[in-house]
Structure 1
Amino acid sequence: MKIFVYSAHRFEKHFLEKAAQGKHELVYSAYALNENTAKLAQDSDVVSVFTSDDVSAGLVNLLYDYGIRFIALRSVGYDHVDIIKTKELGIKVANVPAYSPYAVAEHGVALLMALNRKIILGQQLMKKNNFSLDDLIGFDLHGKTIGIVGTGKIGTAFAHIMNGFGCNLLGFDITPNEELIQQTNISYTSLEDLCRQSDVISLNCPLNGQTKYLFNKNLFSIMKKETIFINTARGSIVNTKDLIEALGNKTIAGAGLDVYENEKPIFFSNHLNNVIIDPIFDKLRSLPNVLITGHQAFLTKEALTGIAETTFSNINDWANGEKCPNEL
């Protein structure tokens, strides 16, 4: 099959080529899928897209007109895809429902540790020959309460790590994870109670109609002033303006973010010679109690291998006329 890969990044090509095993023709484009680039996939059998691509209804129509009947996602999330429209047109879509959950969970812990122990500030001061410790006080994680919103595979991995630190775990999920309850000290509670009790809150839930702006001024207002807020899930689960306000007036202590609600035109690209016009993002990254990474939590060899292998497992199923278990 001829596969057009949108938003192709140098870091993933090796893994994609290895997983393809020479069975398919791959055409790479650094461009994201949009109205101007959809025609590039003409004459292809499959398009492969990333989270930064636009697969809304209008784009689905364009892809259909160009003969595309299969869309292979290189991601777990599919909130950027109009699934109703793809079903209406008969375009098959499959995602990567799971890859190394440890990649994202461990990155969340890294953000937490860096914020709590003032690692970035300490390095900046050291480079200036300032070895004073006065502004570098953190707190022990041992014995603290960790609130985990979403206890699927990534939330479970994060819970196990925090359990190893000797933390008390609170969970919030539509469906409690009974296996996790047996393996750790986690107890499930309401979202409001979790926010009131937790010293650290980690978001690990998907973005959908129920979770968009789930975290807003109301929830931030009931958190502890010492709370560190971690988001490695999706940016739009959080109302960024409300988060900025909470951080600015010290309603909460800090935030470690790997995602941002308006990240699509910013993340995954080099803007060294460009001006980023986004006052909300500028304000967010200027705050001293915020640490932001550019949606890199998934970026480990193990995760990239898993993403590539599942992507081509999906494509191989289609090529062989077999039912793909990951179709949406």
Structure 2
Amino acid sequence: MKVAMFSSKPYDREYFVKHNRDYSFELDFFDDQLNETTVAIAAKYEAVCVFVNDRLNKQVLTQLSQGKTQFIALRCAGYNNLDWHSAKELKLRCARVPDYSPTAVAEHVLAMLLTLYRSTHKAYNRVKEGNFSLYGLNGQEVRGKTVALVGTGKIGKLTAEIFKGLGCELYAYDIQPDHSWANSIGLTYIDLPELYAKADIISLHCPLTDTNRHMINAESLAQMKPGVTLINTSRGGLVDTEAAYQALKDRTLGYLAIDVYEEEANLFFEDLSTDIIMDDLFMRLTTFPNVLVTGHQGFFTEHALNNIARTTLENLAAMKSNQKCVGDIV
């Protein structure tokens, strides 16, 4: 089977080539994102493999269905970039990787938080320059903080367990609460207004849908404690970036840590160090000393990359033989 690998990077090639020895698919790697402009590339391929910023709207899916494409393999957990209703209508089989390494993302939450709270990134740069002054490095402690999680799927649960080990008071909101698990670690489910009012630290762990886009907006930010810490490692569209920027200016937000950004498709996964970044709002965010941005690297561990390649290829083999996939969508 011929597979077009869109948005591929050197690490994708490395791990997919290694695991493809067990399948012998014909993998062609393309740097391009899949979108309305590039979809013609896929015309001769039975399957396409895509990532978080590839665009799978009705127009793209229709054009895929008019070529040889029958299968779409997402090498990620989220599928907010897929119009799955249109995929179903067009009889395009789609599967994702639902569980490649929840631990990687949960640990990245802690890494970002401790970086901000203890200014380790600033200290690293100072010491390299021979500056051992502690002025301006006064930090926060995590123990005793009230931590609230929005979403308690696998990543949210692991994140909660990490904070439990650090001695935090735990709250959460989920449309499908798991009370048995919550009782086992001492977490309490509450509604969103109460969560916003109680939390010292809010961490987002829910998929992006039409109903929760910009759930963190001016209204919800106004309900939060002054100086609250917000962490987003899920999807950028959960946060209204302009509202977060204003909340940083008026000090409602004490700290902001984001591994995702609602306009990241034009930025993340690329080396733009010699370019002028034209996203003014993003650049303004990076000027704040209490903001930390990482480029969607929460998932990026060796364990996760192996699991992504292995599960994606398993899904392709299952779709080809009309079997059930680990991550069936449609």
Q: Say whether the fold is shared (TM-score over 0.5).
A: yes
How many Å apart are 1:317 and its aligned residue?
0.7
> Contact 2:311/2:326 (CA < 8 Å) preserved in 1?
no
Superimposed CA distance per residue, residues 199-225 of structure 1 (whole angstroms, 9 cap, x where no aligned partner): 111011110012100001112122222
Distance across 2 between alignment mates of 1:314 and 1:229:
35
> Contact 2:47/2:73 (CA < 8 Å) preserved in 1?
yes
The answer for the alignment partner of 1:30 in structure 2 is: 31
The answer for the alignment partner of 1:112 in structure 2 is: 113
> Contact 1:74/1:96 (CA < 8 Å) preserved in 2?
yes
Distance across 2 between alignment mates of 1:210 and 1:252:
24
How many Å apart are 1:102 and its aligned residue?
0.5
2:266 is paired with a residue whose SS is coil
> Unpaired segments of 5 or more residues in structure 1?
none
2:116 is paired with a residue whose SS is helix
Q: Which runs of structure 2 are paired with 1:190-201 in the superposition (5 Å)?
A: 190-201=191-202
Distance across 1 between alignment mates of 2:169 and 2:63:
50
Indicate yes or no: 2:39 matched with 1:4. Answer: no
> Does 34-43 or 306-315 show the bigger shift?
34-43
Superimposed CA distance per residue, residues 280-304 of structure 1 (whole angstroms, 9 cap, x where no aligned partner): 1111112111000000000001111
1:286 is paired with a residue whose SS is coil
The answer for the alignment partner of 1:221 in structure 2 is: 222
The answer for the alignment partner of 1:73 in structure 2 is: 74
Distance across 2 between alignment mates of 1:205 and 1:326:
17
> Contact 2:147/2:201 (CA < 8 Å) preserved in 1?
yes
User: Which letter maps to 2:264?
Assistant: E
Distance across 1 between alignment mates of 2:44 and 2:278:
36
Distance across 2 between alignment mates of 1:112 and 1:214:
21
1:170 is paired with a residue whose SS is strand
Q: Which runs of structure 2 are paired with 1:200-215 in the superposition (5 Å)?
A: 200-215=201-216
Superimposed CA distance per residue, residues 250-306 of structure 1 (whole angstroms, 9 cap, x where no aligned partner): 112111110000000110111133222111111111211100000000000111111
> Does 78-87 or 127-136 show the bigger shift?
127-136
Superimposed CA distance per residue, residues 22-71 of structure 1 (whole angstroms, 9 cap, x where no aligned partner): 42111110111122221212221100000111111111111112221110
Q: Which runs of structure 2 are paired with 1:242-261 in the superposition (5 Å)?
A: 242-261=243-262
> Contact 2:256/2:291 (CA < 8 Å) preserved in 1?
yes
Distance across 1 between alignment mates of 2:325 and 2:295:
31
> Unpaired segments of 5 or more residues in structure 2?
none
Distance across 2 between alignment mates of 1:175 and 1:117:
35
Distance across 2 between alignment mates of 1:130 and 1:222:
40
> Contact 1:152/1:177 (CA < 8 Å) preserved in 2?
no
Distance across 2 between alignment mates of 1:127 and 1:322:
55
Superimposed CA distance per residue, residues 223-267 of structure 1 (whole angstroms, 9 cap, x where no aligned partner): 222321110000010000000011112112111110000000110
TM-score (normalised: structure 2)? 0.96
Count of aligned residue pairs for this structure pair: 328
> Does 234-243 or 217-226 show the bigger shift?
217-226
1:253 is paired with a residue whose SS is strand
User: Which letter maps to 1:18?
Assistant: K
How many Å apart are 1:196 and its aligned residue?
1.1
1:264 is paired with a residue whose SS is helix
How many Å apart are 1:319 and its aligned residue?
1.9
Distance across 2 between alignment mates of 1:174 and 1:104:
21
> Contact 1:5/1:26 (CA < 8 Å) preserved in 2?
yes
1:160 is paired with a residue whose SS is helix
Distance across 2 between alignment mates of 1:37 and 1:129:
49
User: Which letter maps to 1:275?
Assistant: I
Distance across 2 between alignment mates of 1:137 and 1:196:
26
Distance across 1 between alignment mates of 2:58 and 2:287:
36
User: Which letter maps to 1:229?
Assistant: L
User: Which letter maps to 1:257?
Assistant: I
How many Å apart are 1:318 and its aligned residue?
1.6
User: Which letter maps to 1:72?
Assistant: A
1:201 is paired with a residue whose SS is strand
